[in-house]
Chain A
Amino acid sequence: MTRRSRMLGSVMAGVLALSLAACGSGSSNTSDTTTKPADNSSTTTTTDNGNSNSNEKITITFQNIYPDTTDPKNKMLHKIVDQYQKDHPNITIELDSLNTDQQKLKLKTQAASKEVPDITIVNPAAQMQPFIDADLFAPLNDMIEQNGLKDTFQKGILDYYTFNGNVYALPDGNNIAVVYYNKSLFEKAGVKVPTTFEEMVDVVKQLKAKGITPMAIGEKDSWTGSFLFMNVLLRTNGGPGFLKDVVDGKKKFEDPAFKEAVDAFESLIQAGAFQDGVTSFDYNAGENLFKTGKAAMYFMGSWATGGIETSEAGKDNNVGVFKFPTVNGKGNPDEFMLAPGSAFAVSKDSKHLKETLDFLNYFMLNYPKETFAAKGAVGIAQTVDGDFKAAGYSDMAMDVLNLFKEVKGGDLAFDNTMNPGTAQAHLSSIQNLFVAKKDASEVAKEHQTAYEENK
């Protein structure tokens, strides 16, 4: 009996060791697989294409964040892809459409195991940095020279995707932050468009007195509040570059400009600017308050234009836009919060690098035309040939387009400028201001501590 179990024990131990070795060798291999074309996903070619072209069959995996078939971007994506596949029967574009959060998680996991899809989506500047450091993307310098693609992009926009002189991604959008307002609600409360932040606080109070929710925000997604705060900071700092100065060691978060921004921001909150229960409203629920005419103002990136103009509140040109005003007389309203969009990057280890680059070139060349047709061309990163007015874009859309012409620089969102660790601390610190009044110097200290810890 004992002998038998001992034998069994050794068998078990042996098998266990074997399995450990098997799994272990699996994970230890990872370091040297960087050189081999690492794309299992693209080798599982789809067979339902049914063409009998003599060329080699190629599948390009295109990870994207346009999963909703009722969304114009999704239609546009499919249209371009279908056309390309028709022209190139040997190429299949496998669309891996995911919602934004999941795509981020997936890409990070894939990046860690060097398994990046042929085309993927990244965010600009600081959010892109770790991927560049890990050397995962192919430079697009040569590709954008082909067919004049480079010249379709607005001046300077590609800088946010350029590292060490190489362009690594091509953006789908370029937006600015504006304040949308509901004209009839403004009329009802007898208030005018504010030209200074102090007037804005005043307008908030008057709206509030009339029982109207002054501003809508979706602060559960804490970047929304941060975006607004950063615009205040852009003013109190007297111009862009505060965070850059912090990174360069020229300033600290305890700087008076930062504290002033916190104080101004809190005065807005304390005036009762936002709806009740603000931190449980996600982006959509917050925006919906404005869209359904329940809130008078809405601070957001210009990407929201399309949704607002077709909403209940936006009917009959009832919604207008204004620039974020000066704070304590500081800042220039022509400096905006800038939001260069998420961008398409190509895996360096793509098995079909050439074809992938060709496709992306084609895709980006057709992008402006198709988004223009789908009435989604407000705030794209490329120049559009076409008469917006004649194409039936709304007055509000035209207003927003005109604001674009007045842009004289600005700042990027916090998480596009700072490392992720500091950004998370910042987001939570700002979110806290919506539920608790805090001393400005305490907020500044929180930021400084977080920054130093994450440096």
Chain B
Amino acid sequence: MNVLKVSGWVIAAFVLPCLLLYVCLVFIPILVSIYSGMLDWNGIGASKFIGIANYTKMFTNDSVFWPALGRTFLLAGFSMLVQVPIALFVAILISRYVRRPNFLVSSYFLPVILSVVVIGQLWKTIYNPASMGGMINQILIGLGLDSWTHSWLTEPKVAIFAVILVSLWQYLGYHILIQFTGIQNIPADIYEAAKIDGADGFKADRYITLPMIVPIFKISVVLAFIGSLQSFDLIMVMTGGGPAHATDVISSHMYNMSFLSMKYGYGSAIATFLVFVCMLATVIINFLFNRLDKRYS
């Protein structure tokens, strides 16, 4: 139970500056978006109110929407279930074996700082066909695995996985940093006490690190989810959503609709749907972690 009893004015002083800014610049635009989502509007000229027609079209008559949503969740799934756990594993190893971890953690973090322009260009040269000097394909051929070679970014079935891999790679260090910070925050005396009780090595990790890291792990998972739903730059740089929408995700679809096809109303409807999905996901993630938290404590 919180102990500080304060007057309303104090609460207002603490909360309002931030809340006002947030409401004006994030919340209101979203409300406007929800409204725009019910318009037939090219974003420039006159608009017409059409109620939920955009949503009907989106759910029933948009051949790009559902696959794009599916790919978005694919990316989110890989990110939450593969990237974040690997990051945790590496973070545990670092905190266990490395005495001066700064250099290592900082280095792992570097790809996040670099602009996607560079990251995209780099990976394109890696993924290129062998005839264009693509590294992966050349290695495969060198190993005699010619049948494994692919045109990684242009085969519709393969391309999305190629892009997902880059995204996982780029943000691995980001999650390592977060998890590592979390592990550093676990008080050393807990481990000491555990050692006296005979818990050491991996046992200590199982019974101390993992339960203690849950809140941080949750932050990482949430960030991974948000990142996935908003991922957009990397896809635009690497494939532009192509070939023929094969790597479109929900955010790139939204961008295409709002600004390229000039269906701003429809794009806003997609944005609204995205926000709704996010809300739902936040609730689910919170629920799952609360259960996890309870089980451990």
Chain A: residues with CB nearer than 8 A to chain B?
Answer: 1, 4-5, 7-8, 11-12, 15-16, 19-20, 22-24, 27, 104-105, 108, 111-112, 130-131, 133-134, 136, 219-222, 275-280, 282, 285, 419-421, 423-424, 428-429, 431-432, 434-436, 454
B151 — which chain A residues lie within 8 A by C-beta?
276-277, 280
Contact partners of B262 in chain A: CB under 8 A: 108, 130, 419-421
A447 → B minimal CB distance (Å): 13
Closest residue of chain B to A435 (Cβ to Cβ) is B243
A4 neighbours in B (Cβ, 8 Å): 7-8
Shortest beta-carbon distance from A222 to chain B in Å: 7
Which A residues lie within 8 Å of B242 (CB)? 219-220, 222, 279, 428, 431
- Stretch in B68-76, B122-130, B170-178, B187-195 with 4+ CB within 8 Å of A: B122-130
Complex-state Cα separation, A27 to B25, whole angstroms: 12
CB of B62, distance to nearest CB on chain A (Å)? 10
Q: Are B128 and A112 in contact (CB under 8 A)?
A: no
A280 touching B20 in the complex, CB below 8 Å, given contacts A8-B12, A12-B12: no
A11 contacts across to B, CB distance below 8 A? 8, 12
Q: Which of B8, B43, B154, B260 contacts A280 (CB 8 A)?
A: B154
- Check A429/B244 contact, CB under 8 A, given A105-B259, A130-B45, A277-B129: yes
Most chain B CB atoms below 10 A, which of A130, A220, A277, A435: A277
Q: A421-B263, A432-B243 are in contact. Are A8 and B42 (CB under 8 A)?
A: no
Q: Given A8-B12, A220-B239, A279–B45 Cβ distance below 8 Å?
A: no
Given contacts A104-B259, A435-B156, contact A428 B244 (CB under 8 A): yes
Which residues of B lie under 8 Å from residue A134 when comparing CB positions? Answer: 44-46
With A421-B262, A428-B242 known, 17 other A-B pairs at CB within 8 A are: A15-B20, A19-B23, A24-B28, A27-B28, A104-B259, A111-B44, A112-B43, A131-B44, A220-B242, A221-B240, A277-B154, A419-B262, A420-B42, A424-B260, A428-B244, A435-B154, A436-B244
**Which of the listed residues B23, B240, B244, B246 has the most CB atoms from chain A within 10 Å of its own CB?**
B244
| CB–CB A276/B45 < 8 A | no
* Residues in B225-266 with C-beta less than 8 Å from chain A: 238-240, 242-246, 256, 259-264
Contact B261 A19 (CB under 8 A): no
Contact A220 B8 (CB under 8 A): no
Bound Cα distance from A108 to B255, whole angstroms = 13
Could you jot down 18 A-B contacts, CB within 8 Å?
A7-B8, A16-B19, A23-B24, A27-B28, A112-B264, A134-B46, A277-B132, A277-B134, A279-B153, A280-B238, A280-B239, A421-B262, A421-B263, A423-B261, A424-B260, A428-B245, A434-B243, A435-B246
Q: Cβ of A8: which chain B residues have Cβ within 8 Å of it?
A: 8, 11-12
CA gap between A108 and B132 in the complex, in Å = 38
- Is B44's CB under 8 angstroms from A108's CB? yes
Q: Is the CB of A421 within 8 A of B261?
A: yes
User: At the interface, is chain A mostly helix, strand, loop or mixed?
Assistant: helix
A263 to chain B, nearest CB (A): 18
- How far is B258's CA from A450's CA once the two chains are assembled, in angstroms? 17
B291 to chain A, nearest CB (A): 29
Tell me, yes or no, whether B155 is within 8 Å of chain A by CB.
yes
Give A4 to B12 CA distance when docked, in angstroms: 12
| Cα–Cα, bound, A282→B239 (Å) | 9
Least CB distance, A166 to chain B, in whole angstroms: 17
Chain B residues closer than 8 Å to A12, beta-carbon distance: 12, 15-16
Cβ–Cβ contact B43 & A279, under 8 A: no
Closest Cβ of chain B: how far from A207's Cβ, in Å?
Answer: 14
B245 to chain A, nearest CB (A): 6
Interface residues of B (CB under 8 A from A): 5, 7-8, 11-12, 15-16, 19-20, 23-24, 28, 32, 42-46, 124, 127-129, 131-132, 134, 151-156, 238-240, 242-246, 256, 259-264
B44 contacts A112, CB within 8 Å? Answer: yes
**B244 near A276: Cβ-Cβ < 8 Å:** no
How far apart are A165's CB and chain B's nearest CB, in angstroms? 20
The 6 residue pairs across chains A and B that have the minimum distance between CB atoms:
A432-B244, A8-B8, A276-B129, A280-B153, A279-B243, A420-B262
Residues in B with CB closer than 8 Å to A133 are 44-46
In the assembled complex, how far is the CB of residue A2 from the closest CB belonging to chain B, in whole angstroms? 12
The answer to whether A27 touches B32 (Cβ under 8 A) is yes
Q: How far is the CA of A454 from the CA of B44 in the complex (A)?
A: 16
A448 CA to B152 CA, complexed, in Å = 32
Contact of A276 among B11, B15, B131, B238 (CB under 8 A): B131
**Chain A residues with CB under 8 A of B45:** 130, 133-134
The docked-state distance in angstroms from the alpha carbon of A282 to that of B43 is 28
Are B12 and A15 neighbours in the complex by a CB distance under 8 Å? yes
Bound-state Cα–Cα, A15 to B261, Å? 39
Contacts of B129 in A (CB 8 A): 275-277
CA distance A222 to B243 in the complex (A): 9
Shortest distance between the CB of B108 and any CB in chain A (Å): 27
Q: With A275-B132, A279-B242 known to touch, is A20 a contact of B23 (CB < 8 Å)?
A: yes
The residues of B that contact A105 with a CB separation of less than 8 Å are 259
Please report the C-alpha to C-alpha distance between residue A107 and residue B32 in the assembled complex, in whole angstroms.
20
Complex CA gap A327/B69 in Å reads 41
A46 vs chain B, min Cβ distance (A):
28
Cβ–Cβ contact A435 & B240, under 8 A: no
Cβ-closest chain A residue relative to B130: A276
Interchain nearest-CB distance for A329 vs B (Å): 31
In the complex, the answer to whether B24 meets A276 with C-beta atoms within 8 Å is no
Task: List residues of chain B with CB within 8 A of the CB of A432.
Answer: 243-244
Q: Are A436 and B44 in contact (CB under 8 A)?
A: no
B117 to chain A, nearest CB (A): 11
- Cβ of B23 to closest chain A Cβ, rounded Å: 6
Alpha-carbon separation in the docked complex, A285 to B16 (Å)? 51
Given contacts A15-B12, A133-B45, A279-B153, contact A420 B243 (CB under 8 A): no
A279 to B153, CA, bound (A): 8
The listed residue with most B CB atoms (<10 A of its CB), out of A111, A133, A435, is A435
User: Given the complex, which residues of B lie within 8 Å of A279, measured CB to CB?
Assistant: 153-154, 239, 242-243
Contact among B12, B46, B154 for A278, CB-based, below 8 A:
B154
Cα of A130 to Cα of B151 in the assembled complex, Å: 39
CB distance from A129 to the nearest CB of B (A): 9
A220 and B244 alpha carbons, distance in the complex (Å): 10
Contact among A20, A112, A277, A419 with B153 in the assembled complex (CB-CB below 8 Å): A277
Nearest chain A CB to B11's CB is how many angstroms away?
6
* Residues of chain B contacted by A112 (CB below 8 angstroms): 43-44, 264
A residues in contact with B238, CB < 8 Å: 280
CA distance A332 to B8 in the complex (A): 81
Please give the distance in Å from A393's CB to the nearest CB on chain B. 32
